[in-house]
Structures are given as structure tokens and as C-alpha cells.
Amino acid sequence: MKPVSFYLVTDTHYFENELGAEGKAFEEYFSREQYFMKESSDILKTTFSRIAEDKETDIVIIPGDLTKNGELESHKSFIKELYALKEKGKKIYVITAGHDYGDDSFAFKNDVRISVEGADFKKLHEMYKDFGYGDALAFDEPTHSYVAQICDGVRMLAICCDSENQPKGAMDERHLLWAEEQIKKAKEDGCSMFAICHYPIIPSVPVFDLVGDTKVKEWRKIASFLADNGVELILTGHMHIQSINEFYSEKGNRLIDVCTSCLTGSPAKYRKITVDENSVLKVTSIDVEDFGCDTNGLSVQEYFDKQFERAILGKIFHALGKGKGFVKFLKNLGVKFIKSATVGTLSRLLFIKVDKNLKKKKLTELISDIGMCIFAGDQPYVEGTPEYEAVYKFLKRFSFVIKKIEPKLGKNGVKINLEEMLLNTIGNNKGFSDANAEFKLK
């Protein structure tokens, strides 16, 4: 691949505060939200000013979920920030995604949730004409995918599979044919090509293979299509997770998927990506810096993490709060148990031996720890750690259930080893980091 260097910022989920983010309904909503809403403007401004200071690269790429939930006013304010960065000498390329249009945009005023005007999908490419769409070499009208010449000898295939005309996260045959033509054209013109897509192509962690909407539909087919056509690198978002994954097609071709965190929520990172003259790809992760808000004495990272932890538990307890009659009664018991128990209590109930330090840990703490470590990348709970041993024994205790559900989970003849998937989800065994990594490209 030919040399190129750029910043990758994703899932900015920008919200225009004038719309309203206050009151009881907002507080209730925010207790289950991973990323910040009111602070998004300050986070973006701080990040863009850091990027503007770097004279080594003049390219910034943002693969979707630009706004909180498609509010037209959020788009207008976000676009102003893009123009301000452009004035400082940066070329910016965006694609839009599911949170950038539609009729489900909302804000919070006077203790209630209110509907606000959402952006029209058909108008998005016009609104963002100065950020990739306007000077695209090719534009696919139905999906808003496009091709950009981002520097001499390097093209970017911007794949949008969040259009209003097709199922979210899907690439149909027509779309694939269009993409194939663009890749072929780039080769004929002597250009290297990488791709971006809002949806991860490769599941970010093994267990996401079993969870819908966490990656493109028919991901093995799409990953093989890209790899076999000579696209070795794709940059993605959507899952708000730090992950880097490799996939090899049956023909032995590789695709590397660099999926990056949400900018406005834990783990709150963005990346600088370079490919040098020897085709060495270098991925570096950067923390969102102090964005000037009152963090109650916490570091910025701790402040982000605290909200994420609150959101994980908020989501679990909210889900358990639903139901009627006896089901509700059982769920309430479950909530009470999770809130009060330690890992030691649970291990005694299941006749499992766990590390003595882990015994004292509250169950809620272990749940949020594991949840956060999955999304932060470089998951630390590998074999030999007390957390790995506890989860391993827990899974063994329930192996009779796991063996029953495994055959139902495998699709298209793919055999599932759920235990292995879960253990590789809490401990990174890939041999390279999800944060900072180097690969020799073709």
C-alpha cells in the first residue's frame, strides 16, 4: 500500500444543547447511556483543536454516527465545527450512519422527552458536500457510498450500509458489484485502496459473532469479498469499542478491521493511522483530553469510565425491571441479589472455588469491570488471572446448558464453541494489541 496518514475519529454523537438536555426524563435516560450528550460539543472542540495542531497529517476521517440521533440542529452545529477544522487546513471525510437521520430524534425539556426534527437521509450528502461527497470520484445514490482520492496514489472506498432503503448493516449484490467496480478502477488507475464502513466487518470480540447488529450481515462473505479484491484495511465504528482484528479468506487473503471507540463515551479514544513507504501500517490510539468540564476530582478517563459503569448496570437493572406478575417477582429477586451479593456469595452457591481477593468483590463491580474491559480492548482477563479462572469455572458449572444451546447458535454449518468464544472475549489472545499495533501490508 502507498503511504498515507490520517486521523480517525468516530461515533461523535454530537448533540446541540439548545434542543434541551435537562430535567428528570433526561437524568433517567442518561443513567443508562454510555456516552455524554451535553458535553459532546466540548469533547469535539477539544479533540479537533488537538488534531489541528498536528502538522504531520491533513486528513481526518469520521465513519458515521455523527450526531446523537439525527437531530437536524445537531447536524448544523456539527457541520460548523467541521468547517472550522477545515479552515485550519484539514481535509475531512465523513459517512453517515443510523444515528444521523430518521424520525426518532429527541431532546429533553421540562422533565419530559420531546420529539425534535430529524435530518432527511436524502439530504445528508448535500449537507456534507464539503466533507467527502462533493468531490467524490464515484457516488452510489441508493446507499450514499462513495470513493475519494484522499492523497496521491491512495483512494478510500467509503461504504455506507446505513441507508434508508436497505436493512441496516447489509450490503446487497448490487452494492457489492458497485464496490467491486470501484476497487477495479482504483487498481487500473494505479492507486492503493482502503475502505471505511460504519459497521464492523469482523466481529470486534468473538462473542459478537452471535449477536446481531454488531457487524455487517453475512460478515464472512463481505470480509472475503474485500480481502479477495485486494482491500486489506478497513476502518469501522458503531460498536463503541477498541478492537483490531484480522480475517483470512479461504483464498488466504487478509482483511484488517480497525474498529474505534465512540469519541464521547468510555473508552473515549481516537486514532492516528499511518502507512509508511515500506507499507507498514501503524495504528496509534489517543485519549480524549480534558475538555473543561467539572469532573469532581476525577481524571477525564475516570470520568468517562464512571459513566460507562453506571450505564452498564443501569441497562441491566432496567431490563430486569420489566415483566409482569411472577416473572417480575423473580426478576426483582435477581436485582436484589446482584446488588447485594459478592463474588464469594455466588461462588458458594455454585460450589465454585475462586481467588480469595475476588471473593470480596461485589458482583456489580465484577460485571461492570468485565463489561468495561471488553469495550476498552486489550482485555486483561487471560488464562491465569483470577477473573478468567472464575468465569471458566462458572461456564464449566453450566456446561450442560451450553452444550444444549451451541448447536442452535451455529449458522451455515459453522460450529460454535461458546466457552472458548466467551473466554477469548474477556482475554485478548490475538497476539497484538487493540490499541497500538503495526502490520506489514501488501
What residues line the site for Fe ion (CB under 5 A)? Answer: 11, 65, 97, 238
DSSP string, 409-434: H--TT----HHHHHHHHHB--SSS-S
DSSP 345: H
Residue owning grid cell 458449572: 397
The amino acid at residue 101 is Y
Residue 163 burial (CB count, 10 A): 23
Comparison of 16 and 65: residue with beta carbon closer to Fe ion: 65
Comparison of 238 and 361: residue with beta carbon closer to Fe ion: 238
Shortest gap between Cβ of 238 and Fe ion (angstroms)?
4
Shortest gap between Cβ of 380 and Fe ion (angstroms)?
25
Grid coordinates representing 243 are 478492537
Shortest gap between Cβ of 102 and Fe ion (angstroms)?
12
Inter-residue contact 427 to 381 (CB < 8 Å): yes
Comparison of 51 and 197: residue with beta carbon closer to Fe ion: 197
Comparison of 65 and 140: residue with beta carbon closer to Fe ion: 65
Comparison of 33 and 309: residue with beta carbon closer to Fe ion: 33
Strands (E), 20-163: 59-63, 91-95, 106-109, 112-115, 138-140, 145-151, 154-159
Shortest gap between Cβ of 168 and Fe ion (angstroms)?
9
Nearest residue to Fe ion, by Cβ distance, number only: 65
The amino acid at residue 383 is E
Largest CA distance in the chain: 67
Comparison of 91 and 144: residue with beta carbon closer to Fe ion: 144
Q: Which 3-state string (H, E, C) describes 191-210?
A: CEEEEEECCCCCCCCHHHHH
Cα angle: 22, vertex 23, 28; to 5 degrees: 100
Shortest gap between Cβ of 25 and Fe ion (angstroms)?
21
Strands (E), 202-313: 233-236, 243-248, 254-259, 269-275, 280-287
Identify the helix (H) or strand (E) that includes residue 316: helix 300-320
Q: How far apart are CA 128 and CA 133, in angstroms?
A: 7
Comparison of 65 and 257: residue with beta carbon closer to Fe ion: 65
Inter-residue contact 8 to 160 (CB < 8 Å): no
Shortest gap between Cβ of 369 and Fe ion (angstroms)?
23
Shortest gap between Cβ of 260 and Fe ion (angstroms)?
11
Comparison of 65 and 309: residue with beta carbon closer to Fe ion: 65
Shortest gap between Cβ of 150 and Fe ion (angstroms)?
23
